[in-house]
Amino acid sequence: MLDRSWATRKVSIRHWGGQKALCLLSDGNGQWTDEAGQPIAELAGCVDIDLSCTPFTNTLPIRRLAFTPNVPQEIDVAYFSAYELTWRRVRQQYTLLASDADTAVFEYRAGAFVQNITVDANGLVLLYPELFVRERPLAASGIEVEAGK
C-alpha cells in the first residue's frame, strides 16, 4: 500500500493457497514495524521497497524523487523476496540518463548489478532488459474487449 507521495505504508505477501505470510508496516518516513507492532531497526530510513517479482517497485523511487540528469541518487530500500517471504536492507542507485515527453531512461544499480530501465511518462517500466518487457496495451493491438467478458 502506498500513500499519495509514493511512499510505502504496508507490504503484505502471501503465497497463493499457502499458510505462510509476511506483513510489514511503515510510517512512510522510513520507520518499519512487524505485524505485532515491533520496530525493525534494520529497515530504519528505508522509504521505498523492492519486490523481487515485479518491476513496479522501480516506479516508486522514480516517482517519489526529484532527478537531475546524470546525477546519481542513492537510497536504501527494504528488499522483499516474494519466494522466500524474507526482507533485508539493500542500497540502490538511480541515475536519470535521458528523458523526453514520453519516456525516460534510468541507470539502476544494486551492488554489482547494473541495468538501464526505460519507463513511460508515468514512471512505469516499459523495458527492463533480460527481465521484463511491457507488452502493448490491448487497444494498441487492435483487439476489442467488452466489459464483463
**Distance (Å, whole) CA 92 – CA 79:** 10
pTM of the model: 0.84
pLDDT tens series, the chain, 149 aa: 988 888 899 999 988 877 888 999 999 999 999 999 999 999 999 999 999 888 999 999 999 999 999 999 999 999 999 889 999 999 999 999 999 999 999 999 999 999 999 999 999 999 999 888 888 664 554 544 444 43
Task: Evaluate whether 41 touches 28 at the Cβ level (below 8 Å).
Answer: no
pLDDT tens for 18-32 read: 788 899 999 999 999
Residues 6+ apart with CB under 8 A from 132: 55, 125
Between the alpha carbon of residue 90 and those of residues 49, 76, 105, 110, the distances in Å are: 9, 6, 22, 7
